[in-house]
């Protein structure tokens, strides 16, 4: 086995409004995870790293004996803001451990990705951070045991993603707990229509066709109560020239793709947030087309 590995994992946004649990996109924020074999067990930085390491060793079917490790996580991805921070930790640990044991036990990229999806419980952020670019994910059959398939396309730098990052943490569990068990049929149809057009626009690099397509009826109307000024901030982005705007993942980040001047959109979103006394910062992001990368293994 190797002694250590260092892995970079980009942040991601998911849903993109109507594409609940199926659309995802990697963005150019990242965390770097360094896993090092050590002589004695040390406390890991949080439950995510701990449970992921244990899951990895179980997944090898006993072919790799567990060994003590030290985990260091560095980077710019905010926690519990809807930018896939849990994926950056889990994937960083999985990929680093896979690199360390690779001389004696090999896992393919698809096997690592499947482990990640199993840990996350849904594929959108996981596939986006792993593969980079824009992704569309779907069950491979009516049997949930057969897993997921996906399509991935790169995203051009002309498309910016203005991202309002509130000083407000939201857990995915809390946000999912607000969702109804049933929705009106016409709302489901509208979401399918818009999600399909979003996928077609990204696949054809026809980004202008995204305008007006980020409206959602399945999850955002139920989650907006968690974020002061939610609708006003989205409306401000649209009025400032964005192609649309949406809740990033389960929140609390709000994201507005634009082909225009991102500074104009940024100022509008910040002003709307301030009106509702919501402390926040803004980052102008582009897509990350690289995905996960092993930076060093020795």
Counting as low any pLDDT under 50, the low residues of the chain are none
Full set of structural domains in the chain with CATH = 4-154+290-297 (3.30.230.10), 160-285 (3.30.70.890)
| pLDDT confidence of residue 142 | 84
At 196-228, the pLDDT tens digits run 999 999 999 999 999 999 999 999 999 999 999
Percent of the chain residues topping a pLDDT of 90: 87
At 105-150, the pLDDT tens digits run 999 999 999 999 999 989 999 999 999 999 999 998 888 778 899 9
Could you list the beta-strand ranges (E) of the chain. Answer: 4-14, 23-37, 69-75, 134-139, 148-153, 160-166, 246-247, 254-258, 280-285, 293-297
| pLDDT confidence of residue 195 | 98
| pLDDT confidence of residue 55 | 93
Whether the predicted model's global pTM rises above the 0.85 cut: yes
| pLDDT confidence of residue 144 | 76
| pLDDT confidence of residue 101 | 95
């Amino acid at each position: 086995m190797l002694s250590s590995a260092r892995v970079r994992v980009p942040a991601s946004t998911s849903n993109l409004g109507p594409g609940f649990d199926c659309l995802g996109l990697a963005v150019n924020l990242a965390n770097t995870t360094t896993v090092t074999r050590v002589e004695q067990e040390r406390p890991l930085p949080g439950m995510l790293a701990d449970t992921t390491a244990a899951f990895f060793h179980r997944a090898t079917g006993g072919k790799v004996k567990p060994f003590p490790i030290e985990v260091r996580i560095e980077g710019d991805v905010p926690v519990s803001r809807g930018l896939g921070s849990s994926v950056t930790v889990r994937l960083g640990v999985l990929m680093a451990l896979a690199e360390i044991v690779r001389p004696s036990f090999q896992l393919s990229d698809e096997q690592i990705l499947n482990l990640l999806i199993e840990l996350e419980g849904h594929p959108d952020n996981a596939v986006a951070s792993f593969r980079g670019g824009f992704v569309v994910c779907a069950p491979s059959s009516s049997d949930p045991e057969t897993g997921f398939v996906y399509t991935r396309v790169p995203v051009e730098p002309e498309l910016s993603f203005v991202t309002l990052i509130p000083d407000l943490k939201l857990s995915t569990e809390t946000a999912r707990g607000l969702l109804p068990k049933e929705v009106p049929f016409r709302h489901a149809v509208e979401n399918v229509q818009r999600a399909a057009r979003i996928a077609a626009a990204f696949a054809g690099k026809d980004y202008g066709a995204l305008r007006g397509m980020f409206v959602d009826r399945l999850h955002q109307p139920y989650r907006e109560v968690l974020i002061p000024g939610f609708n006003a901030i989205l409306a401000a982005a649209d009025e400032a020239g964005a192609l649309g705007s949406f809740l990033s993942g389960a929140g609390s980040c709000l994201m507005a793709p634009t082909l225009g001047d991102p500074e104009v959109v940024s100022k509008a979103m910040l002003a709307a947030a301030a009106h509702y006394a919501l402390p926040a910062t803004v980052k102008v992001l582009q897509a990350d087309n690289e995905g996960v990368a092993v930076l060093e293994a020795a």
